[in-house]
Structure 1
Amino acid sequence: MIATAKVTSKGRTTIPQAVRKAMLVGPGDVIVWEIKQEGVVNVRRLSDLEVDYLHCLESTLSEWGGTLDNDAYRDF
């Protein structure tokens, strides 16, 4: 199956219904893009456990959330 979607000028797109169904995603789900090589990206749904883990990890990194850090690492 092939599904297509356009990208807007703001970089947004709609995930086609057939793709959402195949990925088992719906409103509120989190998806992740894994960049493999130029022109190749895997997209998958994060499991609830992965989302919980990332939220816990994020809470331990608060010292990196300052303005100076944001400015220094903006281009990474």
Structure 2
Amino acid sequence: MPAIAKITSKGQTTIPAEVRESLNFNPGDLLEWEVNADGSARVRRIQPLDLEYMRAVEGTLTEWGCAEDEEAYRGL
């Protein structure tokens, strides 16, 4: 059975409860919209980037960042 929702004048809509439950959407979730060439759309929940984690990982990447490494891997 299709779920139908209306778009408000502000461009907002309510995701029907059965859809939210089925897709495990929760308040505060981030949704990504992708519009396909055929006019259909895909929506999915995405996780926000954990900037603290990304900065910690970035700090470990300098191990291979010297000029010798750049020269050795240039042709790859």
TM-score, shorter chain, exceeding 0.5: yes
CA RMSD of aligned residues (A): 2.0
Alignment of 1:1-76 (within 5 A): 1-46=1-46, 48=47, 51-52=48-49
Unaligned runs of 5+ in 2: 55-76
Q: TM-score under structure 1 normalisation?
A: 0.59
Unaligned runs of 5+ in 1: 57-76
- Partner Cα separation in structure 2 for residue 36 and residue 53 of structure 1: 29
Q: How far off its partner does 1:38 sit?
A: 4.5
Identity of aligned residues (%): 46
Aligned residues: 52
Q: How far off its partner does 1:9 sit?
A: 1.0
- Moved beyond 2 Å, runs of 4+: none
Name the structure 1 match of 2:74: none
Q: TM-score under structure 2 normalisation?
A: 0.59
